[in-house]
Amino acid sequence: MSAFRAFVTGTDTGVGKTRATATIARALAGLGRPPRVLKAVQTGLPAGAPGDAAEVGVLAGVEASELVRFALPADPFSAALAAGAIPLGAADLARRVDGFTGDLLVEGAGGLLVPLNADETLADFAIAARLGAILVVGLRLGCMNHALLTLEAAARRSLAVLGTLLVACDAPPDAGYLADVERVLQGKTKILGILPHESPSASALERDAAALRVQIAPLL
């Protein structure tokens, strides 16, 4: 049985990647495949403050940890420079991922082309770490363009997109707009599910994970 290893990326920052990661992790756990969750690069928090990985671990009941943390709320390249650190390299970050065995979910930071350094992005990291991508689309104006650009960028780099989760990140989506988004993405990506607009809780997560298991199971 091969390990399921995926990179959770978004169309932008603040689109619900952490909630999506927790839901996927819970769905996998319900299928008897509890993954370890990694936050590739956590920015915007001081040392000791709980980050996205800690939130996912509590919500999904799985092991979770960070690979790198910077205090500045910015892209990893800018945050590293602000901290006086050497910017991260895709291969070095991928080697850290290779140190973990078994099923793995790696949450990104912002979108797919967020810079790690002057020449590399998170897409380069995902490719170096041999991770398929799961795209999180925040349902708000502009998301169709952002989703299509992300899918095109992934295809040009031969980065496999395993599927897409839609998240009502600002408010409950209008039914007509949701139908428009699904129509535009049809045939371009597999829509794994739609996560509602509400603060995540253990009960809400379990409800959403139960629906997601049917879509995740064929990927294992």
User: In the structure encoding, which two tokens stand for residue 43, read together?
Assistant: 């920015």
- Structural domains in the chain, CATH included, are 5-219 (3.40.50.300)
- pTM score: 0.95
Instruction: Give the active site residues.
Output: 39
Rounded distance between C-alpha atoms, residue 65 and residue 68, angstroms? 9
C-alpha 219/C-alpha 99 separation (Å) is 23
Residue 202's pLDDT band, with cuts at 50, 70 and 90, is confident
Q: CA-CA distance, 193 to 134, in Å (whole number)?
A: 12
The residue length of the chain stands at: 220
Tens digits of per-residue pLDDT, 105-140? 999 999 999 999 999 999 999 999 999 999 999 999
pLDDT, residue 198, reads: 74
The CA distance from 200 to 218, in Å, is 26
Q: Is the pLDDT reported for residue 197 higher than 80?
A: no
pLDDT digits (tens, 9 = 90+) for 26-74: 999 999 999 999 999 999 999 999 999 999 999 999 999 999 999 999 9
State the average pLDDT for the chain: 95
